Chains A and B, each alone.
Chain A
Amino acid sequence: MTRTSFWTQAMAITKRDVMRERRSGEVLWVTLPFGAIALLLIPIAIGTDRPTLRAIGVGMFWVIVMLFGVLIAVRQAHTESQAQRDVVALTGIDPAAGYVGRVIASFMFLIGFEVVLAVVTVALYDVPLDGWAWMPLVMVLVGAGLSLLGTLAASIVSTGRSASALVPLLVAPLSVPLLIGATQTFEALRLGRSSLTWTLMMVIVILLLAIAGVMSARTLQES
């Protein structure tokens, strides 16, 4: 037995989560279709007036990404048992590496989720593609922020009996800066203004979440 590096441990956790998702298909076959259906239902509910749909398209996309993305990011709160957590703890894996590994896995799922929903949004809402060159950057920032936040929230409530109820209550208010940052970036671009302030706000939120997650990983594992 040789002591493994932080990144070897983190990648082992990522690989485990990706393997479990590939087998269970929770994101691909449950969350993703529901997200796409939610985007489809809105035009049915408010009518097919093209200017209205164009105006609300980007905002709807981010709202759906936030609501369903949270479900993806917090899924480990209810998919890992105490016995499984015990086994991982006894391997001696650095809890911070475990946190980073779970964040990377969630981030990968969220990016895939965002890409599919973006295509659906463009198709259904006929949104103008001005400023969409920024889309990859904003998607990455929102994906990173949600995965950091969701993983942290899942760690906080993982040992409680009310995890399913508590996680959305924790995550929803804390994801508001990401939602505002994402929507305002595109609004600024649409109005020909600089979106740097909003992008920076998202970067700061991500950095704070990363620091909080890594620093509290040991305490949360042992709670």
Chain B
Amino acid sequence: MTVHPGDAIGVFGTNGAGKTTLLRLLATLLKPATGKATILGADLATDARYDVRPRIGYVGHVPGLYPEMTLNENLSFIATAMGIDHEVVESSLAAVGLAGAADRRAEVCSHGMQRRAEFARVLMTKPDFLLLDEPHSALDGNAVDLVDDLVRQIIDSGGAAVLVSHDRSRVENLATYSVEITGGTIA
């Protein structure tokens, strides 16, 4: 599987087929036991994969927010660690429709709002390679459009995206091409 700049790839498969494992490998969060993969020029089997991490935007299906912290504090923590201007935090939250909820703790936000905050985090880091696991789940109509806009924004600016989903019709509208994964093998 080759992903070129400007590509958006849809990955489909049954439960347990290995979609999330593939995404975590591409996100450099797992090291391949066998085989070979290169992301943004870095071989995933080597320590070079650590260097490209800030260029990867990954949203898993479980939100990685700290429940005791507000949405603003969650994003500010990432911004400080990555050297991103704090003004970008507010604009990113506003871009996903969460300006009014910025000071709300993540634990009192709905799953959909937490997902939006995750997309705000990705928007803030301006990744070259976007990886989304079930990007449309738990989102209302407006938020689904926001995700689609985010993907288009990344690929239009020369980035690439891989989207793992069960919602084939929705993702195929966005994808340059699609692949099927069965028993851990890409068809």
Determine whether the beta carbon of A83 is less than 8 Å from that of B53: no
- CB <8 Å contact, B64 and A23: no
Kindly state the interface size class of chain A when it binds its partner. Answer: 20 to 34
B66 near A: Cβ within 8 Å? Answer: yes
Residue B177 interfacial (CB < 8 Å): no
Chain B interfacial residues counted at CB < 8 A? 31
Q: Closest CB of chain A to B103's CB: distance in Å?
A: 13
Q: How far does the alpha carbon of A83 sit from the alpha carbon of B83 in the complex, in Å?
A: 21
Contacts of B56 in A (CB 8 A): 90
Is A92 interfacial (CB-CB < 8 Å)?
Answer: yes
B73 A19 Cβ-Cβ under 8 A: yes
Interface residues of A in 13-30 (CB under 8 A from B): 13, 15-16, 19-20, 23-24
The answer on a CB contact under 8 Å between B66 and A20 is yes
Contacting pair A16 B84 (CB below 8 A): no
Whether B54 and A90, one on each chain, are in contact in the complex, defined by CB atoms closer than 8 angstroms, is yes
Q: How far is the CA of A89 from the CA of B24 in the complex (A)?
A: 12
B53 touches A8 (CB 8 A): no
Mask of A53-89 contacts with B, CB within 8 angstroms, 1/0: 0000000000000000000000000000111111111
Q: Which chain B residues border A92 with CB–CB below 8 Å?
A: 50-51, 53-54, 81-82
Question: CB within 8 Å of B: which residues of A?
Answer: 1-4, 8-9, 12-13, 15-16, 19-20, 23-24, 81-93, 218, 222
Q: Can you show 5 pairs from A to B with CB atoms below 8 A apart?
A: A4-B81, A19-B73, A88-B81, A90-B58, A92-B50
